[in-house]
Structure 1
Amino acid sequence: MGFPGTWMTESESVVYRVVPKCACSTIGQIMFYSDHGRFFDGDIHDSKSGLHKWSQDDSQPLIERNVLSHKSYAFTCVRNPYTRVLSSFFDKICGIQRNGRRYRGNLVPLLIQKYGIEVGGEDGKQEFDQIKSFRRFLLFTRDTIRWRRPMEPDIHWSAMAGHVSTFIVNGGRYDNIFWTEKFNDGMQSVLDAIETPNTVDLANIPRFNESEGHGPKRAHPVEDYFDDLSMHLVKEIYHRDFELFKYDFDNPGNKMPIGEIDLDEVHAKLGE
């Protein structure tokens, strides 16, 4: 199994478990900059050198050796489940991807046909009932996660606990898990704990939101997308995310955490 979704600086200053839709583009660029004194030219997910990734065969033994010996500081970053699944819908389902095509080819036509979802036309820019379509997308999300039909769950909307857990189950241990909603504080706490070849001044780091502009703008406040049934589905899918990462299930309009993450609890519950 190893450590899928794990990135490490070439200097081995720090190890990061990627959680999709949780500031991973910005974090990856910060890691790249901390080693090389410059940002990767393009989407950091496309880099093939300059940053060790589990998806690169040459990196795997280095990452595995580091993580199993806990040689370097290890961290990840999480996000409110309500805003994360909403972001996935607008970016991946409604949006045109950076290759100029729809995400995963036939996925959107399948959703239009089987779930009656609208996505804003060919270019994702036309008016449509965002709330109705999003709630239908939630049904699809639940079906993929609960029954793996009509397809396997996608990394962008599968639960964060699942991503975070593989690192633990296979022998890793986190030193820090912080919230996207308090990004600067969290990322600074990582930088304060490690030594990097190049100093990173967070105040001057741009945000690399690679999904920005892919899809239509959200037309309503977050809470308007979630009625009682939607909240029930969200709880079914993401109950561990709310519990472990201390988000407010009862109020979709409150994106901020309501408690402190207990690393021992995370390791105990996700390491089983």
Structure 2
Amino acid sequence: MGFPGTWMTETESVVYRVVPKCACSTIGQIMYFSDHGEFFDGDIHDATDGLHKWANEGSQKLITSNVKEHRSYAFTCVRNPYTRILSSFFDKICGIQRNGRRYRGNLVPLLIQKYGIEVGSPEDNFQFDQIKSFRRFLLFARDTVRFRKPMEPDIHWSAMSGHISTFVVNGGRYDNIFWTEKFDPGMQSVLDNIKTQFPIDLKDIPRFNESEGHGPKRAHPVEDYFDDLSMHLVYEMYKRDFQLFKYDFENPANKMPTGEIDLAEVHAKLGD
């Protein structure tokens, strides 16, 4: 299986396991800048050179040998499951993608037909009942995660622990897992442990939110989207994420972690 979703700088200064919807655009650009002294011109996910990625066949042997020998500092970044699934809904289901089309072609028509979801459009300024529509999307997301119907779960709403585990199961070890909600201190703790070609001051790094601007804005506080049933569905999908990465399941309004991540526990529980 190898190391899907793994990126590494060309200088092999650092290895990163991408977790979708967890600041991956910003992290990728920081890695690119650390080697080249400039940002990639465009969405870092589209870069085919300047950064080793598992998706590029020419990078796979380099990544494999580095990770298995643990030659470089390895890290990943996580996010509160409540805000992550909300972000996935607004970006991937409601938003218009970079290519000017809906995400995954026939996915949104399928959701409208089978789950009664509304998503609005740029023409009507994305006017629709966000809470009702999101809760129906949650039913669909749960069906994909638990039953793999009507399709396999998408990477943007499959559990973070699933992404993170592939790295461990195939022989990798993390030196650091930090939270999107405490991004600057977390990213700084990575930079403090690696040697970069070009110095990086996080105060000067823009946030590369590639999903922003082509969909509706969230109209309500996070907690308004989650009633008792919604919280149950979220727990069904993300129980391990809440437990391992120390997020507060009981209170959707609290996006901050409630304790420290135990790397030994992560490796033990995700290495099965």
TM-score after normalising by structure 2: 0.99
Q: Specify the SS of the correspondent of 1:88.
A: helix
Check the 8 A contact 2:36/2:198 in 1, yes or no: yes
- Preserved contact between residue 223 and residue 252 of structure 2 (Cα < 8 Å): yes
Q: Find the aligned partners of 2:122 and 2:116 in 1 and give their Cα distance.
A: 15
Asked whether 1:25 is paired with 2:25, we answer yes
The amino acid that maps onto 2:155 is: I
Q: Which residue of 1 aligns with 2:231?
A: 231
Shift of 1:127: 1.1
Partner of 2:208: 208
Q: Is 1:97–2:97 an aligned residue pair?
A: yes
2 CA distance for matches of 1:183 and 1:51?
A: 21
What is the percent sequence identity of the aligned residues? 81
1:126 equivalent in structure 2: 126
Looking at structure 1, the residues matched to 246 and 267 of structure 2 have their Cα atoms a distance apart, in angstroms, of 15
- Whether contact under 8 Å (2:144, 2:152) holds in the other structure is yes
Determine the structure 1 residue equivalent to 2:110: 110
Partner residue, 1:58 = 58
Matches within 5 A, 1:1-272: 1-121=1-121, 125-272=125-272
Letter in 1 for 2:196: T
Q: Distance in 1 between matches of 2:53 and 2:178?
A: 21
AA matched with 1:191: L
User: 2: distance between equivalents of 1:55 and 1:249?
Assistant: 34
AA partner of residue 230 (structure 1): S
CA shift in 2, pair 1:124/1:91, >3 Å: farther
Pick closer, same or farther for the CA change 1:71–1:237 going to 2, 3 Å.
same
Letter in 2 for 1:105: G
Cα deviation, residue 131, structure 1: 0.2
* Per-residue deviation, 1:121: 3.0
Aligned-pair distance for 1:40? Answer: 0.1
Question: Aligned partners of 1:104, 1:125: CA distance in 2, in Å?
Answer: 22
Amino acid at match of 2:261: I
Which residue identity lines up with residue 96 of structure 1 in the other structure? I
What is the CA distance between 1:255 and its match in structure 2?
Answer: 0.3
Report runs of 4+ in structure 1 exceeding 4 Å deviation: none
On the 8 A contact 1:124/1:216 being kept in 2, the answer is no
CA distance in 1, matches of 2:179, 2:166: 19
For residues 7 and 18 of structure 1, the distance between their equivalents in structure 2, rounded to whole angstroms, comes to 7
Once the 2 structures are TM-superposed, how far is the Cα of residue 214 of structure 1 from its aligned partner? 1.9
Aligned length: 272
How much is the aligned-residue C-alpha RMSD, in angstroms? 0.8
Asked if 2 retains the 8 angstrom alpha-carbon contact of 1:96 and 1:124, the reply is no
Q: Residue 5 of structure 2 contacts residue 55 of structure 2 at CA under 8 Å; is this kept in 1? A: yes
Assess if the C-alpha contact under 8 Å between 2:18 and 2:24 holds in 1: yes
In 2: Cα distance, 1:197 partner to 1:13 partner: 9
Q: CA offsets, 1:159-183, max 9 Å, x none?
A: 0000000000000000000000000
Paired residue type of 2:60: Q
Q: Which amino acid aligns with 1:29?
A: Q
Could you say what secondary structure the match of 1:193 adopts? coil
Deviations for 1:24-77, whole angstroms, at most 9, x for unmatched residues?
000000000000000000000000000000000000000000000000000000
